[in-house]
Structure formats: structure tokens, C-alpha cells
A and B are shown apart, each in its own frame.
Chain A
Amino acid sequence: MSQNRPFKTLRKQLIDHGLQVSEIRRYVDELRAHRQDIVAELIASGLPPVDAQLGADHRLGDVHTLVAAKIKQVRSSTFAGRHPCLCFSFMPAFSAAASFTVLTMLLATSWHFKIAPRWLGAVSIAAQLILPGVLAILFYQAARRRALARAWRIVPLAVILLSVVWFRISMRLPPEFPGTQATFWFGIVPSPNFIAMTSALILPVVWISWLENKHVRAA
């Protein structure tokens, strides 16, 4: 790494993998200081400065090795990083279903007991439109921070979109509630809900574009 360019390449590749800027800065600073130490050591041992620089680059490792080592460390340090299939394909579907179920139950229960304020209906509809997008963003960010492959950032969005478009959760409260149990229905709707899909897609797309642009500028 005779000049700063390889460190820039290293920095850019780590940003592309989703590492946080502060973490990258620290890694690059440590590598740069380490390289200076190796150069000083080699010059002290009698090598000319140019050879010392080349020797330092060789000992430090190439960009590919340094990126791979850091990515491996970040991925293996968390459960989600070690088990992306579980956390970024099953969890989004489960969390979408669970959050909608909780939302529906809260709404229906508060309505039944006549404790629901007038604005709760509007808030509930808005939440149902915004919630999938927010969940997709949270999973995208989680996958990014764990330096997972790009596919794992997109899979949760696709899973949540499919859940929103093709599945519906409804709850019917019998009149004698709370004496009897409520009935749930969870299944595939015959016609996809394109309004829900559009609303679930807009928020993540806008947010992801903004975030990726921000990281490109940082690189």
C-alpha cells in the first residue's frame, strides 16, 4: 500500500459491505499506523525506503484479505450474522404477522369496550400502511450492519411485501365477548392488495436510496 489509494479501496469495499463508518475509520487508522511501524522497522534493518514500503504492503496483506478478515469478524460476532436465513427470511414474515395481529387485537378490543378514541381508527389504518415499510427498513439496516450479502438486505423486504399483498389477518369478536373466544383468520387473499403493496414499498425504497447515497458520499 504505497499510497493512500489501497486504503481508500479498502474503505470503499467495507462501506459497500455495510460496516459503520466509525468502525471502518478505526480499522483503517490501525492498519495505517501498523504499516508505518513495519516501514520504520524495515528501514532500520537496512532496506531502502522503496523496498521497505513494498515489504510493509506484503506483510500487512492485500485489500481482499483485509476486507475478508473484517467481514468475517463482523458476521460471526452476532447471532443474526451467523444465521441469516433464520433472521432475515423467517423473522420478517413472523414479525409482520405478529405486529398486524397485535394491532388488530388492540383495535378490536378497544372498540368493543368503547374505550377507543375517535382518532384511533385513522391511526390504525395509517399504522397498517406504514408498519410493513418500517419493518422492512429495520431488517435492511440490521442485515447491512452485519455486513451480510446484499441479498439478505432485500429478502426481508420481499417477504414483508408478499405478506402484505397476499395474506390478511382479520379478527371477528362475537357479541358476547369476553365470555367466548375471538376467531382469527389468516390466509391468502384471492386478489392481491396493491394499495398495501405500494404503501409498503415507497417508504423502504426512499429510505434505502437515501441511505445508499449517503454511504456512497461517505466512501
Chain B
Amino acid sequence: MYGLRMANTGGDVSFMNGVAELLVLRLLSRGEMYGYEIVRAIAESTGGVIAVGEGCVYPILHAMEKKRWVASRRRKLDGRTRIYYRLTDAGSGRLQVASARWSEISAAVSAALKATHVPEPAL
């Protein structure tokens, strides 16, 4: 996925697939936001470990809007027009599914990393 990386790690792109989507859905579940706010919030909420390529957050948002997980509206504030995104009901459902899946995967990976016994490969 374009636009998502782990800061300073040269992060593996395939490993990070779906994470941007999950983070954006989570942030929008708190309230409507525009692109710049979303990028800043992701960086802040992950302590800068995960960073979304700033310009590339918009294709992610557009894709999510096409899937009807988010809805957008134009809003004029301080003389500037911005496009605000908010979570839809479908998006809330998707967030629940994606969160559950992520918890499963991260628990499984943590368990594997903590395991003291590594099975011998079968010949």
C-alpha cells in the first residue's frame, strides 16, 4: 500500500497492508476530520512509529468513501474550504471486523515471538 511506512525502519509494506485503513477508521470513529488532521493524529497516536505518506492519505480516504465506509462533506472554515470525512454505519461495522482481526493477528504474533520452544522443521 502506498503511503504507509514504519518510521525509520524501512518498514515492510506488505506487513503494513490494511493498517492505514484500520487507523483511519479508528480516528474517524471519534469524530469527523480532514486529511491533514488525520495524518497528524496517526503520527501522534502511534508515537511517530507509523506515519502515513501525507499526500497518499487521500487515495486511501477516497477508496474508503467508494466502499461507503466514510462519507465526506465540504466545510468552509476561516475562509478555507476543507473536505471533512466521517465514519458511516458500514464503516463502523468494518472497524469492528478489522479491529478484531488485528487483535487476533497481533496476539498470535506476540505468542509466537514469546514462545521458548521452537519446533524442529519436519524433514
Contacts and interface: CB of A to CB of B under 8 A. Distances in A.
Contacts, number: 63
Contacts of B82: 33
Interface residues of B, number: 21
Contacts of A212: none
A34 interface: yes
B36 A73 contact: no
A218 interface: no
A73 B60 contact: yes
A184 B84 CA distance: 58
Nearest to B61: A30
Consensus secondary structure, chain B interface: helix
B35 A72 contact: no
Contacts of A66: 55-56
Given A34-B35, A72-B2, A27 B62 contact: yes
A65 B59 contact: no
Interface string A94-110: 00000000000000000
B55 A37 contact: no
Contact of B58 (A30, A72, A76): A30
Interface in B22-81: 34-36, 39, 53-56, 58-60, 62-63, 66-67, 80-81
Contacts of A36: 80
A217 interface: no
A76 B2 contact: no
Given A37-B36, A69-B53, A27 B58 contact: yes
Contact of A73 (B55, B59, B81): B59
Nearest to A30: B58
Interface in A21-79: 23, 26-27, 29-31, 33-34, 36-38, 59-61, 65-66, 68-70, 72-73, 76-77
A38 B37 CA distance: 11
B54 A26 contact: no
A219 B36 CA distance: 27
Contacts of A76: 63
Which residue, A27, A37, A59, A77, has most C-beta atoms of chain B within 10 A? A37
Contacts of B2: 65, 68-69, 72
Interface of A: 23, 26-27, 29-31, 33-34, 36-38, 59-61, 65-66, 68-70, 72-73, 76-77
9 contacts: A33-B36, A33-B80, A34-B36, A34-B55, A60-B54, A65-B2, A65-B56, A66-B56, A69-B3
Given A66-B56, A73-B62, 18 more contacts: A23-B62, A30-B35, A30-B58, A33-B35, A33-B81, A34-B36, A34-B39, A34-B54, A36-B80, A37-B36, A61-B55, A65-B2, A65-B53, A65-B55, A65-B56, A69-B53, A70-B62, A77-B66
